[in-house]
A and B are shown apart, each in its own frame.
Chain A
Amino acid sequence: MSAVMTTPVGRLRALGRAELALLGRNRSAVVTALLVPLALPFSVRPAVDQMDLKGEGLSVGSVMLTAAIGFSLLFAVYSSLVSAFVARREELVLKRLRTGELGDAEILAGTGLPAVCVGFVQSVLLAVACVLLLDAGAPAMPQLVVLGLLFGLFLSAALAALTASVTKTAESAQVTALPVLFASMLGSGIIIPLQLLPDRVAAVCEFLPLSPAIRLISGGWNGDLSGYDALGAVLTALAWTVLGVFAVRRWFRWEPRR
């Protein structure tokens, strides 16, 4: 064949570009993805002010920063991708894509790419805003913050793919996404730092899927994470990553139920 063969990068670019256009045309997705992560951290501000942060060596700025990035992961990435995966599946777009040259992993990555990029850019902007406006200070261990953010973005997308698989329609996505949203907001240290929870509860919550990512972001910023704790968080996040990849390969639904 004389034809020019496509490459994974080229295919991802083509699919990602189309998905970005679709994201931009879905008004409720734009509002959820862009405004909620901006608005929510400020709505929890009064609660943060009530918390006994000093005792745990935390500052308002860094707690707000963690909350902001957490909300970005949950709304710009997780929520918006649940809807996107369900909508593409129900319109048979995923099935049609599978008849072409894209591999399964490429289809998922390409579909998730714009939302993951929005989440990344938003997290960076929110972090900068927290530093400038709330005196969050410079990150003590930036490499842990970046690692945590990457784990968080990946796991949010994987959780979205799994949630989509148990969601029948784009409308019901608003309900099926709730358990992960609430569990993560309350139990993964996004609204309430895990340090403030009773020890026993915190010990369990540490193992929620987004907890290690949030811990790396928060601890990496404050510098209150020991090498041992950091390693534990990285290993937990890795375990969730492996589990997430396995679960998506095993359970992701490519076609509507008939």
Chain B
Amino acid sequence: MDTNEHEHVIEVTDLRRVYGGGFEAVRGITFSVRRGEVFALLGTNGAGKTSTVELLEGLAPASGGRVRVLGHDPYSERAAVRPRTGVMLQEGGFPSELTVAETARMWAGCTSGARPEAEALALVGLARRADVRVKQLSGGERRRLDLALALLGSPEVLFLDEPTTGLDAEGRRDTWELVRALRDGGTTVLLTTHYLEEAEGLADRLAILSEGRIAVTGTPAEVTAGRPSRISFELPSGYFVGDLPPLGPLGVVGHEVAGRVVRLETRELQRAATGLLVWAEGAGIELRRLEVRSASLEEAFLGIAREQQGVTV
């Protein structure tokens, strides 16, 4: 097995996917994932996340461009890739009338180097539900079963399509810990999510998809770096935006007023906030609903969504 840490385990070049009706879901994306990395694909619904992941999983051939997983085409060289990958689809995929244990046994019989089923179920906290039929599991438990089966063969590469959708807060945290432990053990993980804090906390690198293209990619820090921080507050009656101190010298690069609520954008959060608060203190006013927030992935994400709709703030 190649243990070169800098090896690109997933390589995607100018990838395209066009559906039968002519809809182009993936419009030429390029990225790569190194061994041992957690890479997140983010995007609104319909951005092309699942369409992309399905091509990486080898469920469909690419309409254009190139995919390589562990050096092979996951569609045409299925047999070479599958024993080394684990997949968790966005949705179920298990017969509802089988029990958890029967499902795991079936899957283990089809997985090279499968660990004992009980061990895989214990990993995701499903050991006590082994004799329950799949149809009686909660949505969260089904996600866990799916994850357990994806982990059965101790895969080198793990594809997780929205792994925590439907999980409660605790289940989500458990899954995050599991993914971190896997990454520390050398597993490469590609996940999609629409929970931004999930990507921010888990991913080494990420890409935000928009309308089938990569809008921005990098580490979470790189992606948020270009984004402004925000301050918002409510002006008391009798005060107007013109009463505020000059915004330019405070480092404010944009502002927006909706009723009494003022929103400021700045790349120098501390200076802008200090200037604003000193002014309020001096004028003897209380800024209600005051929020001061550094740039986060959410800012980046919403910014891209707005640009996509052609709205500038």
Select which of A6, A13, A25, A93 is within 8 A of B111 by beta carbon. Answer: A6
Contact code string B72-98 (vs A, CB < 8 Å = 1, else 0)? 000000110011100101011111111
Residues of the B chain whose Cβ atoms lie less than 8 Å from the Cβ of A103: 78-79
Looking at A14-22, A113-121, A225-233, the stretch in contact with chain B turns out to be A14-22
Name which residue of chain B comes closest to A88, CB basis: B95
Majority secondary structure of chain B interface residues (helix, strand, loop or mixed): loop
* A102 interface residue (CB < 8 Å to B): yes
Select which of B87, B105, B112 is within 8 A of A6 by beta carbon. Answer: B112
* A96 interface residue (CB < 8 Å to B): yes
Interchain CA distance A101-B79 in the complex, whole Å? 7
Select which of B93, B106, B112 is within 8 A of A5 by beta carbon. Answer: B112
Interchain CA distance A6-B113 in the complex, whole Å? 8
* A26 interface residue (CB < 8 Å to B): yes
Contact code string A1-36 (vs B, CB < 8 Å = 1, else 0)? 111111000110111011001100110000000000
Counting chain A CB atoms within 10 Å of each CB, the highest count among B79, B87, B102, B106 belongs to B106
B92-146 residues with Cβ-Cβ distance < 8 A to A are 92-98, 102-103, 105-113
Select which of A4, A21, A100 is within 8 A of B82 by beta carbon. Answer: A100
A-B CB contact pairs (8 Å), 5 listed: A6-B111, A14-B110, A93-B94, A101-B79, A101-B112
* A99 interface residue (CB < 8 Å to B): yes
Residues of the B chain whose Cβ atoms lie less than 8 Å from the Cβ of A100: 82, 87, 107, 110-111
B222-278 residues with Cβ-Cβ distance < 8 A to A are none
B93 touches A1 (CB 8 A): no
B92 touches A3 (CB 8 A): no
* A91 interface residue (CB < 8 Å to B): yes
**Contact size range, B:** 20 to 34
* A129 interface residue (CB < 8 Å to B): no
Counting chain A CB atoms within 10 Å of each CB, the highest count among B59, B91, B109 belongs to B109
B93 touches A18 (CB 8 A): no
Majority secondary structure of chain A interface residues (helix, strand, loop or mixed): helix
Select which of A2, A17, A18 is within 8 A of B95 by beta carbon. Answer: A18
* A45 interface residue (CB < 8 Å to B): no
Residues of the B chain whose Cβ atoms lie less than 8 Å from the Cβ of A91: 92-96
B112 touches A96 (CB 8 A): no
Interchain CA distance A4-B153 in the complex, whole Å? 10
A99 touches B57 (CB 8 A): yes
Interchain CA distance A13-B109 in the complex, whole Å? 8
Interchain CA distance A97-B89 in the complex, whole Å? 11
- The distance from the CB of B21 to the nearest CB of chain A, in whole angstroms, is 11
